[in-house]
Amino acid sequence: MEEHNRKPESKPSFSRREFVSAALGASLMSMVTPGLRGGAWAAGSDAPEKKEVKIGFIPLTDCASVVMASVMKFDEKYGIKIIPTKEASWASVRDKLVNGELDAAHVLYGLIYGVQMGVGGPKKDMANLMTLNHNGQAITLSNQMREKGAIDGASLAKLIARKEKEYTFAQTFPTGTHAMWLYYWMAANGINPMRDVKTITVPPPQMVANMRVGNMDGFCVGEPWNNRAIIDNIGFTAVTSQDIWVDHPEKILGTTADWVKNNPNTARAMVAAILDASKWIDASIANKQKTAETIAQKAFVNTDSEVIVARMLGRYQNGLGKSWDDRNHMKFFNDGLVNFPYLSDGMWFMTQHKRWGLLKSHPDYLAVARQVNRIDIYKQGAAAAGVTLPKSDMRSGKLIDGIVWDGKEPAKYADGFKIKA
């Protein structure tokens, strides 16, 4: 650059090292979409630390945003390549996150908090980067239960009260979401899940096969396995999870605290890419149908796309002759309301872990949630993806028993249930 073209007062006082650094930063920035340059990638040093990230997932409909971020190449926009990695069980996801085999995972909200608190596995500081979906799980009962008159919570309670036999119910992980929905629903109907029934842990893709051979009388799992049980004529939907809690938190993008510390820019990039995918999925029926066809493939969920797409669109039938359009079906974005890692959501799982004896004493609920739910990383990723933020870090909801959860007085809330461990 010629000196006589500069105004004297604008001449920089760069050292050679600073000049090289600035030139490198400018070069890196030339590869970033202009709209992002004011966001997470404001300088070359903010480039993702890892270019390839292995994100574990379990074959469930709600892995869709992770899969589609990769398949549709939303990740490339943010300088990373997401490698979706199919896992066999939630225990495997936990172990691979803790030992670093996976960078992150589509994972049960409660599993991350269980590891954080040292229950349900080894204790390690964890991080929740974003919520992946709301709603879209269910509790399935076997056709044999229908023959005995148990088709909903009230009739199931009457059957169990007869004590003719010990009934067995499956969930997917001891501290996970499905265990909590199952326990909450039972307790709301007067059944103590710790004393009145037997509960076992079964990986989601194995639920239908296990019910078919009589290993359980009911299960709680994510889609498409509840709808699969209906189509295979071995069970029916007794209740959906959105009937237990409308817009409940479900899966999250989880990793370890150490991983975020070492890869903060990569964490932001993952959040931004998956937000783009979440927005795309929810944008139209056509996009949901394409998503269903994609994740139905053998590499992902490995089932018929029709089994997935019906409940993705909210077109429900319960296997007992009832059909309805559910406005509270599985949502991946919902104008960003799905994805924000609300502190109150994380706190709720700890209140239930305390309720059912998994935690022996009350933690500092809010302090733990602030540590685990990385709102700072989420906000940076959301800024890069152009996603608006809610007004508060907390939210409230009324559950099936009429009790409101708002994040206030969590110890009192946890201790206030009549039925507990």
Instruction: Give 41-82 pLDDT, tens digit per residue.
Output: 444 578 999 999 999 999 999 999 999 999 999 999 999 999
Query: Which pLDDT belongs to residue 11?
Result: 32
Q: Verify that 278 and 173 share a domain, yes or no.
A: no
Among candidate residues 244, 263, 279, the one where a domain is terminated: 244
Among candidate residues 209, 244, 279, the one where a domain is terminated: 244
Q: Verify that 81 and 182 share a domain, yes or no.
A: no
> Is residue 189 situated within a structural domain?
yes
Q: Verify that 279 and 389 share a domain, yes or no.
A: yes
Query: Which pLDDT belongs to residue 46?
Result: 86
pLDDT in tens, 87-136: 999 999 999 999 999 999 999 999 999 999 999 778 999 999 999 999 99
Structure tokens that stand for 151 in this block: 């088709």
Q: Verify that 363 and 274 share a domain, yes or no.
A: yes
> Is residue 411 situated within a structural domain?
no
Q: Verify that 191 and 214 share a domain, yes or no.
A: yes
Question: Domain span at residue 302?
Answer: 52-133+250-393
Q: What distance in Å separates the CA atoms of residue 153 and residue 159, rounded to the nearest whole number?
A: 10
Tell me the residue type at 43. Answer: A
> Is residue 43 situated within a structural domain?
no
Following CA atoms 245, 406, 392, 363 in sequence, which dihedral angle do they give, to the nearest 10 degrees? -110
> Is residue 417 situated within a structural domain?
no
Contact 252, 109 (CB under 8 A): yes
Report the CATH number that the domain containing residue 182 is assigned in CATH.
Answer: 3.40.190.10
Report residues of the chain scoring pLDDT below 50.
Answer: 1-43
Q: Verify that 100 and 155 share a domain, yes or no.
A: no
Contact 314, 326 (CB under 8 A): yes
Q: Verify that 69 and 206 share a domain, yes or no.
A: no
Q: Verify that 223 and 182 share a domain, yes or no.
A: yes
> Is residue 292 situated within a structural domain?
yes
Q: Verify that 319 and 381 share a domain, yes or no.
A: yes
Q: Verify that 102 and 172 share a domain, yes or no.
A: no
Q: What distance in Å separates the CA atoms of residue 26 and residue 212, rounded to the nearest whole number?
A: 61
Query: Which pLDDT belongs to residue 122?
Result: 86
> Is residue 122 situated within a structural domain?
yes
Question: Domains in the chain: how many in total?
Answer: 2
Q: What distance in Å separates the CA atoms of residue 103 and residue 107, rounded to the nearest whole number?
A: 12
Q: Verify that 268 and 345 share a domain, yes or no.
A: yes
Q: What distance in Å separates the CA atoms of residue 130 and residue 338, rounded to the nearest whole number?
A: 9
Closest by Cα among 156, 194, 181, 288 to 243: 181
DSSP-based helix, strand, coil % in the chain, nearest 5: 45, 15, 40
Q: What distance in Å separates the CA atoms of residue 91 and residue 56, rounded to the nearest whole number?
A: 12
Among candidate residues 244, 269, 301, the one where a domain is terminated: 244
| Average pLDDT score over the chain | 91
> Is residue 154 situated within a structural domain?
yes
> Is residue 33 situated within a structural domain?
no
Give the chain's length.
421
Q: Verify that 109 and 224 share a domain, yes or no.
A: no
